Structure 1
């Protein structure tokens, strides 16, 4: 009822106020002529005063009795008033009580009355609705600048002296500078930029202004205009210059966008399986968008004999996308791994050019490298012949007749030379080649058949043996994950042993047949070797873990065993002594990998903390992701501890203690990352790195000592002291020396170099080439950053704690 009476009394005043605000916000007041404006403003003020007086005269306070009567009028029988009545005659008899009960029931149905101001008869022209629409439009499309202009116009017409006074108005102009999106730079609000301070903008930045009133004008010489609206000028920054608007000057330096630079590492290498490996580095001032390796046939360098003597069929260059990280791409280091063994240009001269593209499609290229395209090589004479015929067919279909003649010749008298199924396939290929014009699809299917036949001849039953071993590995892994019974797991373990023995025997036979000097390129390094005894030791360790109920560790070790069996060269156990010149130790190498990953994780955590401090963000998903990676590293370190040799020796126990400390530090770092405390996480990660280094030193000392003892034992076995019996130690006691006569080998067949401070794979990760100089460089960098006042206070406090500690 209060709202109804207020709306009826003051709706003219509200409508006038809405029209006035809308006229100011939408710029109607500033657009009126100076001669008309004061009269209209005066009339509006008089109308406002009259409407306010009218409203005050008509508005009446709502009394409680009026509210009860309003509510009672909505109920049948007016029960509220009836409940207050008293009987005139008869007293409070049963009939009267029944009447009151009926009224009480009717009163319980009372509900709040919906308000109804009934303004339509009072405002037949709907002026109130027009005022409401005008106010909404002003709130959406109006601005503070128009309001200020309208107030200044009113003040100027009323009293010219007031026009020069400082009224609370909005800015005369606003400006923005938006760098290109690929630069990942934020938009700059030019009104907040200090006058006289130079502004650096990347080339191609979009600069735009919005002018309020007629007194502002933009003058610039930094680039072409991109808009026609005089009240909203816009242009693109292409060259250094200045911008002037309403007496405000801004010197702009346009930063040129340098073209990306990409460099290839060493010449591509070929793995034993024919996969091409190419290292590369790329950099750009704002980031690489796309990187490719383009491979083109070097026709001039091809030995144009035999099937390559005729002109080749046209074939497009090969474009391989180089792997790029998801984050910062300003400096990229990566490696391309691609299997091009089936490509027609495999093992032929090609030119490889690396190409990088940035955000504005500038292109950088490396110098072309001339080399033979890495691919699989075949050493079986018949398989090599089939691969050469396949290459000739893919070179040109005009070689179909020559290929048919050679295939007919090599399949003559196949008994004992070619298997029946393979002979049938090759004879069918001869018929297809001699059947007339060869279509491209038929050519491709025939090339695939020749490839499969060559692989079958080259590998023999090796592929089938590998498939059986993989199937046994998968069945055992599935049984472990699904909680199979011990009998089922033991049966699957026996199947894996049999399949592994068959695979290693066949692989060893194949390696003996091949000339090692004609083996695929290895980049100047010897292949890693593992003996049958060491495979047996690793499988025994898997068996032990399963017997102890440590299924998770057994599954992890089984996965490592799977990868090892597919990637390593295997030799018979009787050739144990042939690997003594090799370097490396499985525990040391795995610890080196874990240490490297821990250092990378610590660096990422530090960069994440810098981003949070610089942007005022709170730790979120990035912290949880880093914590998950920290947990994975901790679990991997725990598995490595269970496989470390030297249990019971002083050095081995010292190494385990240090790795236990590293594990605890990793666990605390993980919790700190989840709690959003990057400073504590970085400190505990540094403790974990230090403990791992100490553990690697102890492990290296132990392996060096065991290697020396093995060499002494070998010398004693070759020339035993008088009175010493075979099978006795140098002290004369009986003992079993499993590593006597050969170096200390881990389950993967690698040995330690005897040093404790350099990782045996040649990577001085534990200490670096010059630890003292590295430490000095780090301290100098920490001091430099801690002295920069523009860095966040939290970061400088953290750097100060580092200086206090180290």
Structure 2
């Protein structure tokens, strides 16, 4: 039955406070829902007044906005009064009862309707009443629901609250009174003149603005460069400003009176005073902005390839914003002998931006300048290094000039080192070109086994002849740069050799380290040998990568003796780290065993190439044909080298046992001399083209240059046929491949024309262009094939993708047997994962400081550093 209004007093006494709090909560709900528009309008109006917006606009706008604010206040207040209803006690009792199990309040007010004369029924009723009354002790006030999101879907009430919060932080309640002084004949005449002032520190100090009207202290600490703004209202001349912090005269009007708006910058300590009614004065203590400083730290390190790492430290009281490193030649420190005795040609100083920290504080930090100066004319010569940093105020700081040897790459091959030395001599002064050519020719005399291959010897000879020609006729800046680049490329080739040379150095480094461990060498010697092994391994992997780039259709695989298990460079690095760790712990036997495992893996590294035959795709056939065309072009270029050499040194070619050009073995590539033979009529397309070339090569009745010209034209025709039948020309990469092969055809035509005119140097240059274009076309064709293969795999799933369990994701982890991308396998294996994490972080920081990287890559590195 319905509860009675005059219930038992003990029931109401038990729930007095929960009932009262519930009623208050209901009152808060109804006030919030009815009047939230009203207090939102009031918050916005108060925020605008505290921020001083009324002082920045015309009086008419202020009055107009005031009228709108008044209308909005009246409307929202009227709306709230209509919607508001006082909560009743019965409603509060019902809400509180709904929060309890079994509605005990309603049950406590109930009366027994039937069975009151039955003793058993009456006993049950009393037990029920007692249980319900006991539950009243569990009564707790019902939580009010203050959400009004249904009535305010755009959250305008939060916008008003945010505006008020901003006004409390950055405004002042004192500004509200300025609205009362607006309008002619208003209170401003009764109140007299007034003023307002602000102090705005420089943005880079990250300090808040100060409203001077709120500052009653006699002294203020102000950063240098802070902007002080004073505004005076009322009768002109009733208020005046005196200040000694800017060092400049105050602004005046045309009649000599002070302007009512004064803006000046704090340049020194002093006093600011407002004279007149309500005036005030402050002693300004300027906090000077110190200039930044920078120093070069410690020793400069350089890698095997000449990459220099120059550490530096910079400090500023706020933040360093930018920096520059300047390198000039320290001519007084250069040993002026031999080729350096001549006066150097003028060159611009080296300037490069200093790397700045991507995250963290820039007030005090250390960074590393990473750059490679190996190809610069000043490499390995004394230079003066000077660092400069700047802050937001434009102040700069310079380091003390330091004389260092500009790091460059070291060349251990004697011929390569000689070429680099003469390259520096030519770049020092181009008048040294003739002497440099003479010295290189002396090196070539009775060279013996100085060169690994005849091709390298021929390249040096051609370089010497080119230098002699340029020395005779003069050399332009463009020719000098081109010659310097060619000498550098030649030195790199002489130093690093080919894949077999790199493998030989790797095996020698392994043998030396193994022998040192057996003989109980010192820790220092073992550390040096371990570093040599790392360099040799990196060199071998670099040569392996170069081999892949030159043969895009090859597939690099690092295979084991039994299991065809792929390995990455990181796996090899971890194995060498493990070997070094075992040696440092004195466990030489285990280290030797691990070294032997490393030797076996490196020996089994091979570049496997797809074999021709049945089952090849059109792309593979085209790639194989282009590879053969490239080899034939290289052979023709080598023969042109030998013919050029024969012109200057008659008879030398026969003395060195070079293979003649007779047609004794059809199908042999005479330019390479490697016995790459093909039977006549073998295969389709390319094999037929080769048969044509070989038939022409065997003609002995023609002159050497005529034979080369005809073979060059035949090779050009074969390339044209290959280009017309090139697969995948609908893709972007396929189109680029066709364009590159077209450039190769044009270069071959130029080479044939030069051979016809007897200009062998020009023919060799054009052949070089043809080979470069061929390589580019093969790379683009390989990319096109890879795209087609990915599309095919996307359509066919894993049917042709190999066993899913043996696939790896881009991080080198097993993809799992169900085809999922990634796995639960950890990326950091080993004992010292923290050291690995630090190394990765340092590498990210180093790369982010290299300004020559693309903007997209630098942005990506910054995002990675933000995650750390």
Q: TM-score interval w.r.t. the shorter chain?
A: 0.3 to 0.5
In the superposition, the TM-score normalised over structure 1's length comes to 0.43
In the superposition, the TM-score normalised over structure 2's length comes to 0.40
